[in-house]
Amino acid sequence: MNLTGNTILITGGGTGIGRGLAVELHKLGNQVVIAGRRKQALDETTAANPGMKSLQLDIENPDEIRAFAAQAAADFPR
């Protein structure tokens, strides 16, 4: 796998290991999109990493998962 030039979606990217992975992959020049339930954590992470994007997602709601998938594909077609 190429470690640069990718569009990468990381669920749980607002905190912990997910955030650490998102930050490092972003530093390598990837378009990183983080997802999670807590908007505040997502906003803090993207504010600290200009260019990183976020989408809110609650995996306990099947309808929300489908809407999330459609939005992610539309917003980040690569």
Model confidence, pTM: 0.90
Phi, psi (deg, nearest 5) at residue 7:
-105, 120
Ranges in the chain, pLDDT < 70: none
Burial class (CB in 10 A: 0-12, 13-18, 19+), 3: exposed
Enumerate the β-bridge partners of residue 8.
32
pLDDT confidence of residue 61: 85
pLDDT the model gives residue 23? 98
Measured CA distances, 53 to 21, 33, 59, 62, 76 (Å): 14, 5, 19, 23, 10
pLDDT at site 2: 84
Position 78 scores a pLDDT of: 81
